[in-house]
Structure 1
Amino acid sequence: MVTADRVAGELTFTSRHPEALHGFIELDPRTLDTPAGVAQGLRALAEFEAFSASLRALLVDRQNQHVADQPLEGRKGQPERLGGDVAHAAAVSEIAALQNTSEAAAARTLNFSVALVNTHPALHEALAAGDITESHARAVVDQAATLPERVAEAFGIEALARLRTRKGRIRTPGEFRAVVRDLRERLHPESITRRREAAREDRRVWLQPDEDGMCVLSALLPAETARAAYERIDGAARAARDRDGEHRTLQQLRADVLLQLCLTGHGGEGPLSGEAPLSGEAPQSGESIPSLEQLLSRVTAEVVVHIPLAVALGASDDVAHLDGYGVIDATTARLLAAAAPTWQRLFTDDEGVPVKLGRSTYRPPAGLVRFIQYRDGTCVVPGCTAAARRSEIDHTIEWQDGGATDAENLALLCTKHHALKSLAVFRLRRSVPDHGGRQIGEPPKVSGELVWKSLLGEEYPAEPADRTHILGPRSPAPTAVPAAPPACTSGASDPPPF
């Protein structure tokens, strides 16, 4: 049992930034002694969390204004970037770095905060008073975001009036969201037909890593097409379940049908047994569904797997690394390696990869590109997880400023952060500056650790993805790379040794 005496020293909160947040908050230790005391403490904490959320929204909105007040012309001669909305892109990056969160989460926080403070002042006041939770506020702001600006505030006030049930109970966030959604449908000045056409433009597919070598593949699709696709998948799975000897569950069969359609372009077992494809048709009644291992052998898209040589040769069952996901087991890695038509191998500079090209060329050759992608793994901006294949190679010291096409002067940046750097809105530099002493015509020196400096002057260490579990401890030499581990992709070079 946790006693009040044991946790007494943990019941007081004092900010580490007293210049910004004064005073302290203390929980009376006697609150822990009775159920009624604990209940009161939880109610008080819920009110404080609501106040904290309202304060965060205010601060985020103010930071957004500070970004907008900065000169954003950027470097002269650069084309328009980021859809012309450089201020919003810069503000999102500022918030992401300050709160140590992803850019997607920071964008949601920024959009919510700006709308709450400026469009829904009554909602903001209710949150500050502890009358509603942040989830209640988000339910209103999310639904109002699709309304014309002229009616959004009035909609928020009307929604707030429906916070309580007829008997006075405050609706849970889930209940309140359903009420607000229905209210939006009734009050929206545009027809549902026009809104549906606009919503169709937002259709998308995304991938979210999960635990133990799994991922969640999600899609936002028009209702009628998504329903039809699910019915086809479900029908094929149910038909296959009735076959003799089939031991997979219905859920597993649905997943395998979807994989078969995506990976082979058809739903039948034709190509797996040498027959012609079925042109996207779902499996017919009585047809078998390939096993997961068979489907894995049909992977035709480029899949990059970083495998230690001992694992590839079967001498070790240590882990490997799948680009865009993370650690995978040795057995799966060897299956992918065996199925790859060719391998690509990364060499050290002693074995032929030109990692120092100086000023002889602006664009790095393919070997150097592979080296940088493997070394950095993701965009080097702190908190950004954009994979190497979706990032661009950038000269830390710009080419037009004398920067060389050398490994130590190249780094991966995602499209957005590359644009912010190219516009000189954000800056990527080395912690040890070049103090001069160069001969005429000599390029600037590159030394020290990478530092990412934001528009408002905040600085953060920029570094490659941590791959010590695959590469072992990183060498201090910036051009060091393991001599043997191959990166298995569909590409060119040596055949697998299987």
Structure 2
Amino acid sequence: MLDWWAFGLPKYQPEPANWPELKLAELLPERGALGDYLEDLPPGERLATLLDTLDPADVDDFSLVEVVAAFKRMEAWSAAKAARAAATLAERSSVNPTWPTIVAGRATGECVVGPELAMRLRVSKQAAVKLVACGHAFGTAFEPTGQALEEGLIDFPRAQAIVTTLHDLPAEVAVTAQLEVLDKAPGRTLRQVQQDLARAVIAVDPDSADARHLAARKKRCVNRPQPMEDGMARMSAVLPAADAIALDTALEAAARSAKNSGDRRTLDQLRADSLALMGHTALSLGHIGPYPAPSCTCDCRERCDCRSSSAGGTAPVDGTAPAAEAPPPASGAAPGDSTAPAAGAPPPAGTALTSGSASPVQSAPRLADGPPHPGHRLPGGGLPMVRLGMLGGGRSDIRITVPISVLLPGPRDPGVTAVDRVPEPVAELEGYGPVPPVVARALSAGGVWRRLVTDATGTQVLDVGRTRYQPPTAIADHVRERDGTCIVPSCSVPARNCDLDHIHEWQDGGVTSADNLGPACTGDHAIKSIGAFTVAYASDRTYAWTTPTGHGYLRRPDGTIITLPRRTAEGLRTKGKEAVRSGRPVDASLVDAVLAEVSAGTDVGGRWAPRGEATGQPWPGLEHAPAWSGGDEPPF
């Protein structure tokens, strides 16, 4: 074996421990030198150590831009590592519980890694699942994309766009399109990469474009409102291009019509107000779409005298005209003629005018079970009327909880500052969250008041034991108003869009009562029924969850998530499994005790260790048990 000196090479000298300080001392005096050094430094331990050492206040402008870019490369590097770790977790048996084979008709291999990561990362289940999907993809056909992300050449949004766009395509199409886009992706924005992907897919496989569109059309959706600051919210939609253009054209036409009439709002404001009007109109009338009205008697498609009486085309489903200022009489009708129908009013019950005929014929209103599919309309080119259904067992309406101090505000002392003022109750809009007082009072002024079912009068039945599985209306309303959203950590689906789940399962002896019920969205309800997670509640409706990997979380009534120490989570999980076997629910006082300890000795990060460990009673059953054993009852 030859030594280093045989080749005339200098002797290797390890870097000193303070190499970052020495390197910065060398580079900082010269303007731009640090930036030149950082520009070519790949992400990893060395770059992280150097960035952690420097003080941005000491860096020149040119180099500071490169410092930001270096941090973003580290962010991409970390994202790639996180995605790969998430994909590895998804393969573990703990997050892939199976139904006992003795249960007929039950599926096996139901992965719960999405909820597991969502609770820990405080993200939505969809975001957690996408992270896992990207990690899987980076280890298979999308390894070049994963490598580019790990090297900091692209960020995670661009890498995710490549994976989500191509992963459902045939392998040869996905690989070819990926390589076509990836070469220039480091110099392209997210929007440009998305356009490049669409272009590459069509160029690589033009014959399958129609089939891909039909498959993509199945993923159309409207995302729920995302809260923003100052009482505002953001909504987005994924629609077929033709439907998106139709909606955009309608909003633009309505905005420009108002603008041409002298409205002083901006076009953006008018477009937003027009879209909001569509929702408020549907809630007010109880349906979406036009009210069936007499068609044109002369079979023309232009506005004419014979259609002016039905130009409004909308009316409440009960047949009563909305309370509004009466429009001018139809053309050809004498003023004060009581026989001429007003614009917007429904036709006489059971009558309609058919095209090409001036005589009325009997015709039932044309109702549809749901909106038409993309590209489809009712026979004859008509548009359907779709009734609004119920949400959470009640009518579809806007619900807001307004404290009396907000509804009837008292005089304020202008000399009291925000620091001295005692925090006041805040109004809450269901499905959104806290709103400013002006919004709360405006909604309350024109809203429908509903009494919260809280048993304050002592007349409401909030426990029917095991006499029935489905809760009565009083219990259902009370539970939904009490919890507000899905009770699973990181989930914010409004309660009225959720199922009502028995905390201690019905088949394990649970009762139908307000205490033993909690809202759970459809996906979380199914996952809880598998039995891989345990849940118990405190007297203040803090929910204690444990997961298959041994993690534990407290979900506070306001939705805040507290991570529990591992030992505490193991103890709660043991108690939860014992409750299933014994048929007796976990006592709320147990969760109260855990909550009290956490409140006294930890922050939201959950770094608390149990106090008094030497003298206190240890948690029972600290062994790592499976979700269930062969002798357990099926957890469903």
The two structures have a TM-score, normalised by structure 2, of 0.56
Q: 1:218 to 1:276 in 2, by over 3 A?
A: farther
* Residue of 397, 414, 432 corresponding to 1:302: 397
Partner of 2:220: 203
Offset, 1:324 = 0.3
* Residue of 544, 550, 553 corresponding to 1:457: 550
Provide the secondary structure at the position in 2 that maps to 1:451. strand
Aligned mates of 2:95, 2:552 — CA distance in 1 = 20
Q: 1:44 to 1:447 in 2, by over 3 A?
A: closer
Provide the secondary structure at the position in 2 that maps to 1:379. coil
Aligned mates of 2:536, 2:228 — CA distance in 1 = 34
Q: 1:233 to 1:456 in 2, by over 3 A?
A: same
Q: 1:47 to 1:22 in 2, by over 3 A?
A: closer
Provide the secondary structure at the position in 1 that maps to 2:85. helix
Are 1:239 and 2:263 counterparts?
no
Aligned mates of 1:356, 1:179 — CA distance in 2 = 59
Aligned mates of 1:392, 1:54 — CA distance in 2 = 36
Partner deviation per Cα, 1:114-172 (whole Å, 9 max, x = no partner) = 222222122223332334433442342233124213432343234333447xxxxx444
Identity %: 29
Q: 1:141 to 1:302 in 2, by over 3 A?
A: same
Matches within 5 A, 1:80-95: 87-88=110-111, 90-95=112-117
* Residue of 243, 263, 267 corresponding to 1:225: 243
Aligned mates of 1:143, 1:91 — CA distance in 2 = 22
Provide the secondary structure at the position in 1 that maps to 2:139. helix
Aligned mates of 2:157, 2:190 — CA distance in 1 = 6
Aligned mates of 1:342, 1:35 — CA distance in 2 = 58
Aligned mates of 1:104, 1:62 — CA distance in 2 = 18
Offset, 1:55 = 1.0
Partner of 1:347: 454
Are 1:249 and 2:342 counterparts?
no
Counting matched residue pairs gives 409
Partner of 1:134: 156
Are 1:107 and 2:200 counterparts?
no
* Residue of 92, 98, 117 corresponding to 2:120: 98
Partner of 1:57: 83
Matches within 5 A, 1:110-125: 110-125=132-147
Partner of 2:98: 72
Aligned mates of 2:55, 2:540 — CA distance in 1 = 57
Q: 1:463 to 1:276 in 2, by over 3 A?
A: farther
AA aligned opposite 1:87: E
Aligned mates of 1:178, 1:278 — CA distance in 2 = 47
Partner deviation per Cα, 1:163-184 (whole Å, 9 max, x = no partner) = 47xxxxx444444443333222
Aligned mates of 2:95, 2:548 — CA distance in 1 = 11
Matches within 5 A, 1:165-314: 170-188=187-205, 190-208=207-225, 209-243=227-261, 246-264=263-281, 271=322, 272-274=324-326, 276-277=343-344, 301-312=396-407
Structure 1 range deviating more: 409-418 or 331-340: 331-340
Partner of 1:294: none
Provide the secondary structure at the position in 2 that maps to 1:408. coil
The two structures have a TM-score, normalised by structure 1, of 0.70
Partner deviation per Cα, 1:425-464 (whole Å, 9 max, x = no partner) = 2222358xxxxxxxxxxxxxx9996321222222211343
Partner deviation per Cα, 1:393-441 (whole Å, 9 max, x = no partner) = 222211222222333322222211111111212222358xxxxxxxxxx
Given that residues 378 and 464 in structure 1 are in contact (C-alpha distance below 8 angstroms), is that contact kept between their aligned partners in structure 2?
no
With a CA cutoff of 8 Å and minimum separation of 6, indicate the structure with the bigger relative contact order. 1
Partner deviation per Cα, 1:254-300 (whole Å, 9 max, x = no partner) = 23333333332569699432555389xxxxxxxxxxxxxxxxxxxx9
Aligned mates of 1:77, 1:447 — CA distance in 2 = 37
Given that residues 540 and 557 in structure 2 are in contact (C-alpha distance below 8 angstroms), is that contact kept between their aligned partners in structure 1?
no
Given that residues 379 and 414 in structure 1 are in contact (C-alpha distance below 8 angstroms), is that contact kept between their aligned partners in structure 2?
yes
* Residue of 434, 437, 449 corresponding to 1:327: 434
Offset, 1:30 = 7.4
Aligned mates of 1:426, 1:375 — CA distance in 2 = 23
Offset, 1:202 = 2.2
Structure 1 range deviating more: 329-338 or 100-109: 329-338
Q: 1:74 to 1:389 in 2, by over 3 A?
A: farther
Which blocks of at least 5 consecutive residues in structure 1 are unaligned? 9-20, 165-169, 280-299, 432-445, 468-475, 479-498
Partner of 2:54: 29
Structure 1 range deviating more: 386-395 or 28-37: 28-37
Aligned mates of 1:410, 1:75 — CA distance in 2 = 29
Aligned mates of 1:61, 1:415 — CA distance in 2 = 24
Aligned mates of 1:86, 1:313 — CA distance in 2 = 55
Q: 1:192 to 1:403 in 2, by over 3 A?
A: same
Offset, 1:354 = 2.0
Alpha carbon RMSD of aligned pairs, Å? 3.8
Offset, 1:64 = 0.9
Which blocks of at least 5 consecutive residues in structure 2 are unaligned? 1-20, 26-43, 283-289, 291-310, 315-320, 327-341, 347-394, 412-423, 561-588, 592-636
Q: 1:450 to 1:466 in 2, by over 3 A?
A: closer
Are 1:425 and 2:532 counterparts?
yes
Given that residues 61 and 113 in structure 1 are in contact (C-alpha distance below 8 angstroms), is that contact kept between their aligned partners in structure 2?
yes
Offset, 1:388 = 0.6
Kindly name which structure, 1 or 2, has the bigger radius of gyration based on alpha carbons. 2
Aligned mates of 2:448, 2:63 — CA distance in 1 = 67
Given that residues 68 and 87 in structure 1 are in contact (C-alpha distance below 8 angstroms), is that contact kept between their aligned partners in structure 2?
no
Provide the secondary structure at the position in 1 that maps to 2:234. strand
Partner deviation per Cα, 1:44-94 (whole Å, 9 max, x = no partner) = 4343333212211210110111158744216975865xxx68634x11111
Offset, 1:189 = 5.8
Q: 1:52 to 1:260 in 2, by over 3 A?
A: closer
Given that residues 254 and 274 in structure 2 are in contact (C-alpha distance below 8 angstroms), is that contact kept between their aligned partners in structure 1?
yes
Provide the secondary structure at the position in 2 that maps to 1:344. coil
Offset, 1:331 = 4.1
Offset, 1:219 = 2.7
Aligned mates of 1:75, 1:323 — CA distance in 2 = 42
Given that residues 123 and 137 in structure 1 are in contact (C-alpha distance below 8 angstroms), is that contact kept between their aligned partners in structure 2?
yes
Given that residues 380 and 465 in structure 1 are in contact (C-alpha distance below 8 angstroms), is that contact kept between their aligned partners in structure 2?
no
AA aligned opposite 2:216: A
Q: 1:465 to 1:75 in 2, by over 3 A?
A: farther
Aligned mates of 1:336, 1:34 — CA distance in 2 = 52
Aligned mates of 1:226, 1:40 — CA distance in 2 = 40
Aligned mates of 2:522, 2:274 — CA distance in 1 = 35
Structure 1 range deviating more: 197-206 or 412-421: 197-206
Structure 1 range deviating more: 183-192 or 91-100: 183-192
